[in-house]
Structure 1
């Protein structure tokens, strides 16, 4: 019995000492706060919060999409859209952006050819034997003056911004170079275009070089020709002049 009292007398203080050390260590680690606080974030709470945030963003997205649809769809009068579209189509034709078909005239210009003996006329200079920019412009201007509805040169539509330029014995048109023969196709009143070509001073002068130095010139009347549309131009410095539909 005395031995049992001795064991409790030493065991109880040892247990208390260990418990005190454990409490002291816990206090040091937690910094004086509770280790398992009731407000500590949990994984399930984070997931729930993320889902709620996603729901709010989805609702906001749907609201903005509906507002955009109202401004660009439902709030626009169908008649206004139709009018703008028709106006755009009319301007595309006038600006040469749309392909066209109809009766027309095809004029072909080409450099002088050597004779049967492989020679050029002895009194000709190199400039007398090639088609120049002024010759091409003379044909184009005569056709426009005669009321041509559409003109194509080589494989490109001639529009207000087109400017054929001579580069040596080739022609530069909208950034592309071409060698003769130069084929000019025009849709319009054929007799009027032929009369304008016959009366144009520079075309008359060119025809004299045709006879003297062997330059090439032909006119071909066709009942149906097709001209391509010009690609939509990218004007870097253009600014709107007024509202659509003016």
Structure 2
């Protein structure tokens, strides 16, 4: 009886010290997340040229990613010190989900789609350039078709895409993970290239885009290639979610 009580108290002591530490690190993660939200908000007029804007946003993003990596390391270290079966089970489950979540690299045959704006002379000759430039929905349509065809991993402009990746228009560029990128937009997916090609061919929205690409008066850029031996890196950016349940 005495030994049982002593073991129970020891377990409570471990949790008493580990839990506040874990909450402290979690609080720091929320601070980094809030900072990221402020730091990646594009405000008109802040930077006048695209190269400077990209360098500025990328520098801020890299700083935040480094801080997040350090904090994630602290969380892992604290979790490893907790001697509890339930914690070990949760950590094992998280490890198994790293691949589907995009936190491990994938390698294999790939399909690459490149989207670009119409030639400059066509864009300068009209007041309505909506059909002459690439929009976020064009990129999203291609990415969604790739996922729908069973892609193992997708990247845009060399950056791994995961479920929380945001794609939005930012002036004359497209913003990905808080960083603006100019065209052309290169989208690569590892997986069954025949299935992805078929899914892209059957997509109505992509079909309209490709019709504009074939129209001499529009000529918006479209190119698709099959590649072999492509590696898509693991996602190593900031993580917006603290907790999530996998879809079944």
Could you state the TM-score of these two structures normalised by the residue count of structure 2?
0.59
Secondary structure in 2 aligned to 1:214?
coil
Alpha-carbon distance in structure 2 between the residues aligned to 1:100 and 1:89: 16
Q: Is the 8 A contact 2:118 2:219 kept in 1?
A: yes
Q: Distance in 2 between matches of 1:217 and 1:240?
A: 36
Over aligned residue pairs, what C-alpha RMSD do you find? 3.1
CA apart distance, 1:86: 4.7
Please name the residue that 1:185 is paired with.
Answer: 188
Distance 1:202 1:93 in 2: 30
Gaps of 5+ in 2: 1-9, 19-79
Q: Deviations over 1:83-135 (max 9, x none)?
A: 66653332111110111111110110001114xxx455967831121101111
1:163-242 → structure 2 map (5 Å cutoff): 163-212=166-215, 213-231=218-236, 233-235=238-240, 238-239=242-243
Aligned CA distance change for structure 1 residues 75 and 186 (closer, same or farther; 3 Å): closer
TM-score of the two chains, using structure 1 as the length reference: 0.59
Contact 1:97–1:232 under 8 Å retained in 2: no
Q: Deviations over 1:4-36 (max 9, x none)?
A: xxxxxxxxxxxxxxxxxxxxxxxxxxxxxxxxx
**Max radius of gyration: which structure?**
1
Q: 1:95/1:240 Cα in 2 relative to 1: closer, same or farther (>3 Å)? A: closer
Whether 1:161 and 2:167 are equivalent positions in the alignment is: no
Q: What is the CA distance between 1:176 and its match in structure 2? A: 0.4
| SS of equivalent to 1:135 | helix
How far off is 1:229 after superposition?
A: 1.3
Q: Is the 8 A contact 2:174 2:181 kept in 1?
A: yes
Count of residues in Structure 1 that have an aligned counterpart in Structure 2: 168
2:133 to 125, 130, 133: 130
Contact in 2 for aligned 1:139/1:203 (Cα 8 Å): yes
Query: Within 2, Cα distance between the matches of 1:216 and 1:97?
Result: 31
Q: How does 1:105-124 map to 2 (within 5 A)?
A: 105-114=111-120, 118-119=121-122
Q: 1:229 to 1:121 in 2, by over 3 A?
A: same
Task: Tell me if structure 1 keeps the 8 A contact 2:164–2:240.
Answer: no
Residue 74 of structure 1 and its aligned partner are, at CA, apart by 11
Quickly say closer, same or farther: Cα 1:123–1:228, change in 2 above 3 A: same
